[in-house]
Structure 1
Amino acid sequence: MPEVQARINAVLAAGMTTGAAKFIHGERGIQTFGKARALARLHANLRLFFAHGAK
């Protein structure tokens, strides 16, 4: 999972919100366990939300 989160962070940092949204959407289908993954997913969604608002 860290590689998926790293990819999402890199795409968001590059300002490519559409690409990040696709990665975030695809990441939802990955089976994980624990609250840490849910928190990372929330973090990515919030970053995407604010990136869209910054434009």
Structure 2
Amino acid sequence: MPNHLHGRTKNPNTQEDFEHLPPEHLVIDILDKYKRVAEIMAEIKAILEQQSC
């Protein structure tokens, strides 16, 4: 790859950068992710509680 192009190519498979999303969209995405993390943590907690019995 020529030196002047090094680091300038973009992976077409990556998701859109958060920096380019409107703030309203960012808030919704963050809250959705937070809810999913909370669901996973509740599942892990339930598994751990079952194992301790």
Q: TM-score, normalised by structure 1?
A: 0.41
The structure in which a higher percent of residues are helix is 1
Higher RCO structure, 1 or 2 (CA under 8 Å, sep 6+): 1
Rg: which structure is higher?
Answer: 2
TM-score (norm 2): 0.42
